Amino acid sequence: MSDDVQHQLMELQTQFAFQEDLLSALNERVVEQDKELDRLKRMLLALQENYVKLADSLPQSGGEQERPPHY
Give 1's contacts (C-beta < 8 A, 6+ positions apart): 9
pLDDT at 41: 98
> pLDDT tens-digit profile of 25-65?
999 999 999 999 999 999 999 999 999 999 889 887 655 66
- Pairwise pLDDT comparison (11 vs 58), residue with the higher score: 11
Q: Which residue has the higher pLDDT, 29 or 66?
A: 29
pTM above 0.75, yes or no: no
Average pLDDT for 15-31: 98
pLDDT at 54: 93
Question: For residues 48-66, b (16+ Cβ closer than 10 Å) or e, as one string?
Answer: eeeeeeeeeeeeeeeeeee
